[in-house]
């Protein structure tokens, strides 16, 4: 992909992010932070590439360490978000 | 993508799908009823991204990789299960630091093994110019996110004083460091020597640290949101390096999300983003100012029994929780109190100020944890007009967010901040540990001394438990 194509995706995604995030209810701002944290760990993709490719042992080790950190975040982030969201309950109607 | 790593359209499509699923994950958060489905979509998106990456690469090191995922995933899962809800701000800060560190490591790996990332120019065998800038920015933002988040974590967790630490000449030092980082990244284009890469990394670690130490505990909601934003931009920069749509979309989403949250927090404190980042808020709050005079002013002090009686006679009670509630873990007792009042036919509502607590939405999570239905919890603009009709405003662990000085006193450091108009209620019950020690802004609160205010001086949880006991009689 050339640079301009990537840049277009980036700029459009910023706008999508802007509108989507404004529609998040303030009551869920803490889960929002937890889940954005989890998804920003998609950086694990880079870490996986580094650890899968031969060529540099140092790069591979750095990659593996990054995989560990990003995994803490992914699993921890999604799990804690799930736990929080499960707590939000409506009034029981009698 | 790049000359060395042609990508099949299906792979690109898979990353796009995971990017879209991440958008839907955030979209789900527009209401608690759709939020869990959204979160699951996020998980699916992440699984797609990870599997796609592994599938398209050499599988020789698969055992090591799966081991690394299992170790990290296991740790993350255990933390997520065990963490106290009151510790959520610290946890989020800690998680941010990991994203930052992962970004730095990925950047370093890409620098050491550019061939693997397809960023080598086949003619010169050097890294593409554009990739050098993207990589430099990614590593710099990642490092700032890491060291900044570590400081934020230490402050939120109480390992480090929440008071701002002011270095002399810090603005000059910070700006110079920042300029040096940007200058070196620009220079990196002409010369890809290792010393430049590592100096950028090291300086970025330093500036992250310097940026956060002068910021006080009460400004942490802004800082945590800002670091949230940075972690997104770091992921986006790495996405540019890798030409990966999932990373770019996610980075843009998270980046704007954090930026919007910082904006909302700043607005709720009526402070500019720059002034928060410049730091030092709450440091100048001299005890010689409001504090000393406060001790001499007359106020009414009540007991738990008085409070219980007053509230059981009321038609409507609005509860205003703040950071103090989180500190003393009073949310469960508070919900019990609310239940008992409701049984007596009292209408009970909760009013949340946007900056109550140490991170956006902190109070909402704690109340949800205590099983308070979310349709009894209201945001500032939705409930503020109701204080005029309320019989009792029950303020617990909040202070500055109720201070009328924000409306009347132009000299006050909190002037212009939107507040909850608790003073308009027929009576105000104010739970506070002691009369000394004003809120974080160090300003005295007129509400303490009003005729219709009763101060309940005790630990928040203890006081509420006593009120519950008194109500049971």
Q: What is the pLDDT of residues A14-72, one digit of tens each?
A: 999 999 999 999 999 999 999 999 999 999 999 998 888 877 888 889 999 999 999 99
Give the CA angle between residues A25, A26, A28 to the nearest 5°: 75
Q: Which domain holds residue B47?
A: 1-56
Q: Which domain holds residue A64?
A: 27-87
Q: SS3 string of A32-56?
A: HHHHHHHHHHHHHHHHHHHHHCCCC
B90 with B195, same domain: the answer is yes
Work out the pLDDT band at B442, boundaries 50, 70, 90: low
ipTM: 0.94
pLDDT of residue B172: 87
The answer to whether residue B71 is domain-embedded is: no
**Angstrom distance (rounded) from CA A61 to CA A63:** 5
pLDDT of residue B292: 40
Task: State residue B458 phi and psi, 5-degree precision.
Answer: -175, 175
Question: Residues with Cβ < 8 Å from B425, sequence gap 6 or more?
Answer: B318, B387, B388, B390, B391, B392, B393, B452
pLDDT of residue B436: 66
| A24: closest CA of chain B, how far (Å) | 4
B176 with B213, same domain: the answer is yes
The answer to whether residue B67 is domain-embedded is: no
Sign of CA dihedral B57, B58, B62, B64: negative
CB contact, 8 Å: A8 with chain B?
no
pLDDT of residue B3: 39
Residue B171 in this model has a pLDDT that exceeds 60:
yes
Residue B346 DSSP label: -
Nearest CB to A79; choose among B19, B81, B252: B81
Write the CATH number for B455: 3.40.50.1220
When mean pLDDT is compared across A75-84, B94-103, B162-171, B430-439, the lowest value belongs to B430-439
Work out the pLDDT band at B43, boundaries 50, 70, 90: very high
The answer to whether residue B76 is domain-embedded is: no
Number of domains forming the structure of chain A: 1
| A52: closest CA of chain B, how far (Å) | 6
B48 with B133, same domain: the answer is no
Number of domains forming the structure of chain B: 3
**Angstrom distance (rounded) from CA A40 to CA B138:** 13
Tokens 């360490």 map to which residue? A65
B451 with B344, same domain: the answer is yes
Active-site residue among B400, B409, B444, B451?
B400
Identify the closest residue of chain A to B45 by CA–CA distance. A39
The answer to whether residue A43 is domain-embedded is: yes
Q: Express as a percent the part of chain B with pLDDT over 90.
A: 57
pTM: 0.88
Sign of CA dihedral B56, B59, B63, B64: negative
**Start-to-end Cα distance in chain A:** 58
Contact A55 B116 (CB under 8 A): yes
The answer to whether residue B255 is domain-embedded is: yes
pLDDT of residue B286: 37
B412 with B462, same domain: the answer is yes
Mean pLDDT for B337-347 is 93
The answer to whether residue B256 is domain-embedded is: yes
Residue B293 in this model has a pLDDT that exceeds 80:
no
Q: Are B145 and B234 in contact (CB under 8 A)?
A: yes
Question: What is the interface size between A and B, counted as CB pairs within 8 Å?
Answer: 387
Question: Residues with Cβ < 8 Å from B250, sequence gap 6 or more?
Answer: A39, A40, A42, B19, B22, B232, B235, B236, B239
User: Helix (H, G, I), strand (E, B), or coil: what is residue B431?
Assistant: strand
Chain A neighbors of B57, CB-CB under 8 A? 48-49, 52-53
The answer to whether residue B100 is domain-embedded is: yes
Of B80, B133, B226, B335, which to mutate for an interface test with A (greatest number of A Cβ within 10 Å)? B80
| A9: closest CA of chain B, how far (Å) | 7
The answer to whether residue B362 is domain-embedded is: yes
B152 with B241, same domain: the answer is yes
Mean pLDDT for B347-361 is 90
Picking from B244, B278, B312, the residue at the C-terminal end of a domain is B278
Identify the closest residue of chain B to A21 by CA–CA distance. B257
B149 with B188, same domain: the answer is yes
B52 with B121, same domain: the answer is no
Contact A14 B25 (CB under 8 A): no
User: Helix (H, G, I), strand (E, B), or coil: what is residue B439?
Assistant: coil
Contact B113 A53 (CB under 8 A): yes
Q: How far is CA B23 from the centre of its chain?
A: 20
| A4: closest CA of chain B, how far (Å) | 11
| B173: closest CA of chain A, how far (Å) | 30
Give the CA angle between residues B283, B219, B445 to the nearest 5°: 65
Of B61, B409, B140, B401, residue with least CA distance to A64: B61
The answer to whether residue A60 is domain-embedded is: yes
Contact B32 A27 (CB under 8 A): yes
Contact B373 A45 (CB under 8 A): no
B386 with B259, same domain: the answer is no
Active site residue B400: yes
Work out the pLDDT band at B9, boundaries 50, 70, 90: confident
B272 with B331, same domain: the answer is no
The answer to whether residue B24 is domain-embedded is: yes
CB contact, 8 Å: A57 with chain B?
no
The answer to whether residue A49 is domain-embedded is: yes
CB contact, 8 Å: A42 with chain B?
yes
pLDDT tens sequence across B235-254: 999 999 888 899 999 999 99
Chain B neighbors of A4, CB-CB under 8 A? none
pLDDT of residue B441: 59
Judged on CB neighbours under 10 Å (0-12, 13-18, 19+), A51 is buried
Of A72, A90, A91, A92, which to mutate for an interface test with B (greatest number of B Cβ within 10 Å)? A72
DSSP percent split of chain A into helix, strand, coil, nearest 5: 85, 0, 15
Task: State residue B88 phi and psi, 5-degree precision.
Answer: -60, -40
pLDDT tens sequence across B111-143: 998 888 888 887 788 888 888 999 999 999 999
Judged on CB neighbours under 10 Å (0-12, 13-18, 19+), B33 is exposed
B340 with B213, same domain: the answer is no
B202 with B167, same domain: the answer is yes
């Amino acid at each position: 992909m050339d640079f301009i194509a990537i840049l277009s995706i980036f700029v459009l995604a910023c706008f999508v992010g802007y509108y989507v995030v404004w529609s998040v209810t303030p009551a869920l701002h803490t889960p929002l932070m937890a889940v954005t944290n989890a998804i920003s760990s998609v950086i694990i993709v880079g870490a996986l590439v580094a650890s899968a490719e031969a060529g540099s042992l140092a790069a591979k080790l750095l990659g593996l360490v990054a995989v560990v950190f990003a995994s803490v975040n992914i699993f921890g982030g999604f799990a804690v978000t799930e736990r929080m969201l499960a707590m939000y309950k409506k009034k029981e109607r009698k | 993508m790049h000359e060395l790593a042609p990508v099949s359209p299906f792979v690109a499509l898979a990353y796009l799908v995971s990017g879209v699923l991440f958008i839907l994950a955030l979209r789900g958060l527009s209401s608690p009823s759709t939020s869990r489905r959204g979160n699951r979509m996020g998980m699916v998106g992440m699984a797609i991204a990870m599997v796609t990456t592994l599938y398209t690469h050499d599988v020789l090191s698969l055992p090591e990789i799966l081991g690394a995922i299992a170790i990290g995933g296991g740790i993350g899962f255990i933390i997520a299960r065990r963490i106290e809800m009151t510790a959520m701000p610290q946890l989020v800060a800690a998680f941010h630091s990991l994203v930052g560190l992962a970004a730095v490591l990925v950047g370093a790996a890409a620098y050491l093994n550019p061939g693997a990332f397809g960023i080598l120019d086949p003619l010169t065998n050097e890294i593409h110019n554009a990739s050098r800038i993207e990589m430099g920015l990614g590593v710099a933002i990642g490092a700032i996110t890491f060291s900044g988040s570590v400081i934020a974590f230490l402050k939120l967790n109480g390992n480090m004083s929440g008071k701002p630490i002011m270095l002399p000449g810090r603005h000059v030092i910070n700006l110079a460091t920042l300029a040096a980082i940007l200058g070196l990244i620009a220079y990196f284009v002409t010369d890809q020597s290792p010393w430049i890469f590592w100096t950028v990394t090291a300086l970025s670690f330093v500036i992250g640290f310097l940026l956060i130490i002068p910021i006080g505990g009460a400004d942490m909601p802004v800082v945590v949101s800002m670091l949230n934003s940075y972690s997104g931009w770091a992921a986006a920069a790495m996405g540019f390096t890798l030409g990966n749509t999932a990373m770019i979309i996610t980075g843009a989403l998270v980046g704007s999300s954090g930026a919007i949250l910082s904006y909302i927090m700043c607005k709720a404190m009526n402070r500019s983003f720059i002034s928060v980042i410049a730091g030092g808020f709450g440091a100048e709050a001299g005890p010689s100012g409001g504090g000393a005079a406060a001790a001499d002013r007359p106020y009414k002090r009540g007991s738990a029994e008085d409070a219980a009686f007053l509230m059981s006679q009321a038609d409507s009670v609005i509860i205003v929780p703040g950071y103090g509630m989180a500190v003393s873990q009073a949310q469960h007792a508070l919900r019990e109190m609310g239940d008992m009042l409701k049984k007596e036919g009292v209408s009970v509502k909760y009013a949340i100020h946007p900056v109550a607590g140490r991170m956006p939405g902190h109070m909402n999570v704690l109340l949800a944890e205590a099983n308070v239905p979310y349709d009894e919890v209201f945001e500032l603009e939705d409930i503020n007009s109701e204080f005029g009709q309320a019989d009792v405003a029950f303020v617990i662990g909040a202070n500055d967010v109720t201070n009328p000085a924000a409306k009347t006193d132009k000299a006050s450091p909190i002037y212009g901040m939107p507040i909850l108009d608790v003073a308009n209620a027929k009576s105000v019950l104010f739970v506070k540990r002691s009369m000394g020690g004003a809120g974080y802004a160090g300003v005295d609160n007129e509400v303490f001394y009003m005729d219709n205010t009763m101060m309940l001086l005790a630990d928040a949880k203890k006081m509420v438990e006593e009120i519950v006991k008194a109500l049971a009689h």
